[in-house]
Amino acid sequence: MKYKVIGSSVNRLDAVAKVTGKAKYADDFFERDMLVGKVLRSPYAHAIVKNVDTSKAMALPGVEAVIWHKDLPKIQFPTAGHPYSLDPGHRDVADKLILTDKARFVGDAVAAVIAVDELTAEKALKLIEVDYEVLPFVLDPEEAIMPGAPVIHEERPNNIVASFGAQYGNMEEDIKNSEHVFEGEFQTAIVQHCHIENQSAYAYVDTDDRIVIVSSTQIPHIVRRIVGQALGLPWGRIRVIKPYIGGGFGNKQDVIIEPLTAAMTLAVNGRPVRLAYTREEVFIDTRTRHAMKFNLKTAVSKEGKLLGITVKDIVTQGAYASHGHSIAMSAGSKFRPLYNFNSVVFDPKTIYTNLPTAGAMRGYGVPQIIFALESHIDDIARELKMDPIDFRMQNLISVGHADPLTKNVVRTFGIPECIEKGKELIKWDEKKKKYKNQSGEKRRGVGMACFSYLSGTHPVGLELAGCRIVMNQDGSVQLQIGATEIGQGSDTVFAQMIAEVLGIPMDMVHVISSQDTDITPFDTGAYASRQSYVAGAAVKKAALEVKDKVLSLAKIKTGINKEELDIVDANIVEKTLGRVLCSLEDIAMESYYDRVYAAPITSDTSENVRVNAPAYGVSFAEVEVDMHTGKIEVLEIYNVHDSGIILNPKLAEGQVHGGVSMSLGYALSEQMIFDKKTGKTLNNNLLDYKLQTILDTPEIGTAFVELEEPTGGFGQKSLGENPTISPAPAIRNAVLDATGVGFNKLPMNPQAVYEKFKEAGLL
């Protein structure tokens, strides 16, 4: 075994704290005289805010302030949690005001109350009088780009956020050379993250006259920057603290409530103000997953070789740009290092509509495109009368593949092994045979789907991560890391890395779980499945620096060359003899108290990671379809991942369980529904929004193909978002296998299934 701590299923560091309620979330902190902020929202999908009369609300005892856009700087700012770019052409679209001067969806924030308590704030909201000029609105992206459609943002009169794409090779040539050209249309729904903890933050002005914001965010350092931008303040005047948070899934990779929370404290002379969204608010005024409508056209040779593909992608952005076209572009690039196409044309349009804003969500566009692609691939195999696995196998890329556009190189590629494992787990061949030619009320089938993903955002985004380690007198260490623990277990995995490199047990690693932009090393945060791969590189670098300092001091103390020294089980050992020279504590004590050499051992470092390892996986699903009710039951589902070396199998399994569960909902039940007449969200609560519960969830099988990725510090690749990508198309393909009907639109809820079966003449 190469590693001692890496690869073992150590318990989450925060497990006990979270189970016992000791772990503190944003709502658990109290400041003296904390005020409550509440938001007044537009009842119209599209309306100019002509005037706001706050006088009656202000007159209510207990109301400290009422603000609207005229009280705030008129600065349009971006909200996406991306690293800032020095190139103005690469920055996110800045189309938000803290409180809007034009409502662009039902629920847009128009005014805000700061009051002594929630009840008073709620009462005051009702006393605010807004003079709206109501405008026509548009909900459908394809209608939104038609001539004469209502213009949602003046800066983009055609309602297109962006429409640039990507392409390589010669698709026309490939079509010319092909035997078959297949087309397919696929569509995904608007869904929501449904993290357990709603967005919540509080802010105050500190003793240094700076704005402090404690927020449930994935990206504290980016929140700092964007609040600075939104308020027109130097970024150093903002301080953001992230405590434990109850999930994010990308929705907290957006700066949504913090600028308003900051504006609220400024409105009351710096007194602390809490802004905690309700679940209903989270559904409409945070972010959703982009609905995408794909048109795929694929050229295939006589031998069943994929030659070229054209993907048209209509992306529903909603009211504000948020991550906007980045998500389309992510979809358009991350599927590429999977099948060996000669040519790819990716042609997306990200389009404003008068709907809640779509943003980052686990998988970042890839669950959408992989649903389309892997459904399409299965359809093609079916048409070609080929086994869908054989068809895929003969079209896979191989190690050494370099993306023609990003130049990203594939150094490990585990799809064939993943497929092998998945087939065995689900007993593919046996079931495939057994389920042929079914009839009757309940029909079973098996399906599978592959995916490719990346580990971070390089080379699109800057991948900078920071880490600081401080060694205590007893040889234990504190770890400060800019990368944020958001429930995924990153703290634990980073601690394992430190323990591994430093040769100490886990209980000697103390992780400062909270990030504070004043003092925590810079890192852009938790997203893009970058933590263990990207931030792990900074952690390893810092740990190696600490180890080097320990051994340098040990050399002074022992006289033995550093190259001959190592740290094993918190002892300094002479490598060749395996002899213990002294304890690590002895050296740590010297680092604090030696009269000449004293210099406490720390590392404060950063790493700019300029590689990106594609990660892979497959889903295998077995379904039973009730032909009468349209209900699809997933009997078995397996996710087999190539994520390099698995750092902590138990945590990895947890990631997979969560991701698969999310994809089950994506496949079968989840969607936000809007009233076509008003634009109002009809199911913005957890009763009407059909999230999968534990009762809906089958046993989820997990397996890993562990190829050591040379660019990962410990052989690792991404795993965070990955599990959520391929289950939906695998289920869809299993339903196709069971019924012969290909569902091209998500979710496949009983109503949709029933309707489609009727259409197909099965009922």
Q: Cβ closer to a copy of itself: 475 or 715? A: 475
Q: Which residues pair with 467 in a beta bridge?
A: 481, 605
Judged by CB under 8 A, the stretch of 326-334, 341-349, 462-470, 724-732 that binds a copy of itself is 462-470
Number of residues that bind a copy of itself (CB under 8 A): 63
For residue 183, what is the enclosing H or E element?
Answer: strand 180-187
Q: Which stretch binds a copy of itself (CB under 8 A): 9-17, 302-310, 397-405, 712-720?
A: 9-17
Nearer to a copy of itself, 2 or 610 (CB): 610
Interface region with a copy of itself, contact rule CB under 8 A, candidates 117-125, 284-292, 310-318, 461-469? 461-469
Where helices occur in 612-691 by DSSP H, the ranges are: 649-668
Please name the residues in contact with 207: beta carbons below 8 A apart, sequence gap of 6 or more: none
Q: How far apart are CA 61 and CA 75, in angstroms?
A: 31
Token pair for residue 262?
């900051």
Q: Kindly state the smallest distance separating residue 384's Cβ from a copy of itself, in Å.
A: 44
Q: Is 434 in the site for a copy of itself (CB under 8 A)?
A: no
Instruction: Rank residues 3 and 522 by Cβ distance to a copy of itself and give the closer one.
Output: 522
Distance CA 41, CA 526 (A): 29
Under rule CB under 8 A, residue 240 binds a copy of itself: no
- In the complex, least distance from residue 249 CB atom to a copy of itself, rounded to whole angstroms: 23
Binding mask 173-192 toward a copy of itself (x if CB under 8 A, else -) reads --------------------
CB of 376 to a copy of itself, least distance (A): 35
Q: Please name which of 505, 532, 738, 492 lies closest in space to residue 622, comparing C-alpha atoms.
A: 738
Angle formed at CA 315 by CA 313 and CA 319, multiple of 5 degrees: 165
Question: Please, are residues 603 and 430 in contact by the beta-carbon 8 Å criterion?
Answer: no
Q: Helices (DSSP H) in 157-219: which residue ranges?
A: 171-177
Which residue, 505 or 740, has its beta carbon nearer to a copy of itself? 505
675 contacts a copy of itself (rule: CB under 8 A): no
| Smallest distance from a copy of itself to CB 479, Å | 10
Residue 30 binds a copy of itself, judged by CB under 8 A? yes
**200-229 mask for a copy of itself (x: CB under 8 A)?**
------xxxxx--------------x--x-
DSSP string, 340-400: --SEEEEEEEEEE-SSPPEE--TTTTHHHHHHHHHHHHHHHHHHTT--HHHHHHTTB--TT
Give me the phi and psi of 502, to 5 degrees please: -85, -5
Give me the 464-503 binding string for a copy of itself, x by CB under 8 A, dash otherwise.
x-x-x-x-xxxxxxx-x-----------------------
Kindly state the smallest distance separating residue 511's Cβ from a copy of itself, in Å. 7
The pair of structure tokens assigned to 450 is 């592959």
Q: How many CB atoms lie within 10 A of CB 557?
A: 16
Tracing tokens 């180890």 back to the chain, one arrives at 547
Q: Which of 1, 596, 687, 694 binds a copy of itself (CB under 8 A)?
A: 596
407: left (phi over 0), alpha (psi -120 to 50) or beta: left
Residue of 151, 189, 573 lying closest to 367 (CA atoms): 189
Q: Which stretch binds a copy of itself (CB under 8 A): 275-283, 295-303, 505-513, 676-684?
A: 505-513
Position 14 contacts a copy of itself (CB under 8 A): yes
Binding-site member from 149, 273, 426, 511 for a copy of itself (CB under 8 A): 511
Name the 3-class secondary structure at 195: coil
Q: Closer CB to a copy of itself, residue 164 or residue 592? A: 592
**Residue 19 binding a copy of itself, by CB under 8 A:** no
- Tell whether residue 234 is a contact of a copy of itself (CB under 8 A): yes
Alpha helices by DSSP H, listed for 166-247, are: 171-177, 220-231
The SS3 call for residue 256 is: coil
Q: Does 23 bind a copy of itself (CB under 8 A)?
A: yes
Give the 3-state secondary structure of residue 471.
Answer: strand
Q: Which of 386, 418, 412, 387 is nearest to 397 (CA)?
A: 412
Binding a copy of itself (rule: CB under 8 A), the pick from 180, 510, 631, 680 is: 510
Contact 674, 631 (CB under 8 A): no
CB of 714 to a copy of itself, least distance (A): 22
Among the listed residues 86, 196, 577, 687, the single contact to a copy of itself using CB under 8 A: 86
Residues that bind a copy of itself (CB under 8 A): 13-14, 16-17, 22-23, 28, 30, 32, 83-86, 206-210, 225, 228, 234-237, 462, 464, 466, 468, 470, 472-478, 480, 508, 510-513, 518-519, 521-522, 589-590, 592-600, 602-604, 606, 608, 610
